[in-house]
Amino acid sequence: MKVLAVIPARLASTRLPRKMLREVAGEPLIIRVYNAVRTCTLLDELLVATDSDEIAQICRERGCNVRMTSRSHQSGTERVHEISNLVSADVYINVQGDEPLTRPEHLLALIELMSDPKIEVGTLKTAAKTADIKNPNVVKVVTSMAGKALYFSRSAIPHDRDNTGAAYFKHLGFYAYRKSALDRFVALPASSLELVEKLEQLRFLEDGISIHLQQTPFDTIGIDTEDDLNRVEEIIKQEELKKIRT
């Protein structure tokens, strides 16, 4: 099974301007994510897919594999689809460019999930922290007993009406696709729920394309705000201190 990991990266972010090139503990964010992803030994290929000459230049200077893609894409999935038309693989893994706490275990969990040829789309979940449950910047997911996504939302789902102590799961920004699923995604119009929640994965669900979830104990912090960046920097610095001490 040939596995290609793609990191979609654009410079025109709104909540944190130019975040792909913001320094995180001394390295541009996109480079830190690339170096984290490359630690997974089961990847056949890894590349950054961008529409920014500036991002591409930084990647080339740091020895990262990079491909230029269209400026017209509305989502990271569309950018991964363009790569799927250029590079052949059995599975395409989409690692969002704002996930510097990526671990090889995240990617290995996805690869394990996609070893089932019947699965078209896979992604990850982890137990949600109390502070994340009502945070609209943290996407929650509910799944069936078979591990298929029932819904993704920025709201706290499920609603625990009687305070029974319901379990909440956070969705992590990693996806795996077959080429057929990517082809169907870009052929579909943006769905009504996708537009309401601003969550592109809902397009799959509204069209009846199942998304399978694999649970992981390893949480991440996607960088969307200045506060996120500061939290991640502190985590990375603490991890680097531990390595020095050992």
Helix, strand, or coil here: 122?
Answer: strand
pLDDT grade for 15, boundaries at 50, 70 and 90: confident
Distance in Å from the first CA to the final CA of the chain: 37
Name the pLDDT band for 237 (thresholds 50, 70, 90).
Answer: confident
Inter-residue contact 84 to 171 (CB < 8 Å)? no
- Alpha-carbon span 139 to 78, nearest angstrom: 20
No. of H helices and E strands in the chain?
9, 11
H or E element at residue 33? helix 29-37
Where do we find the tokens 């298929």? 148
Q: Is the pLDDT of residue 61 over 80?
A: yes
- Residue 150 dihedral angles phi and psi, to the nearest 5°: -95, -40
Paired tokens of 203:
């397009």
pLDDT band at 195 (very low <50, low <70, confident <90, very high): very high
Tell me the per-residue pLDDT of 126-185, one tens digit each, with 9 for 90 and over.
999 999 999 998 999 999 999 999 999 999 999 999 999 999 999 998 999 999 999 999
Residue 232 token pair: 């991640």
Q: Which pLDDT score is estimated for 88?
A: 97
Average pLDDT of the residues of the chain: 95
Name the band, by pLDDT with cuts 50, 70 and 90, for residue 67.
very high
Q: Is 95 exposed, middle or buried (0-12, 13-18, 19+ CB in 10 A)?
A: buried
- Domains of the chain with CATH codes: 3-245 (3.90.550.10)
CA pair distance 223, 97, nearest whole angstrom? 9
CA dist., res. 30 & res. 169, Å (int): 27
- State how far the alpha carbon of 130 is from the alpha carbons of 99, 135, 159, 213, in Å: 21, 9, 14, 21
Read off the pTM: 0.94
User: Residue with structure tokens 């480079």?
Assistant: 31
Calculate the alpha carbon distances from 28 to 23, 117, 140, 185 in Å. Answer: 4, 36, 28, 31
What pLDDT, on the 0 to 100 scale, is given for residue 113? Answer: 97
Q: Is 216 in contact with 174 (CB distance < 8 Å)?
A: no
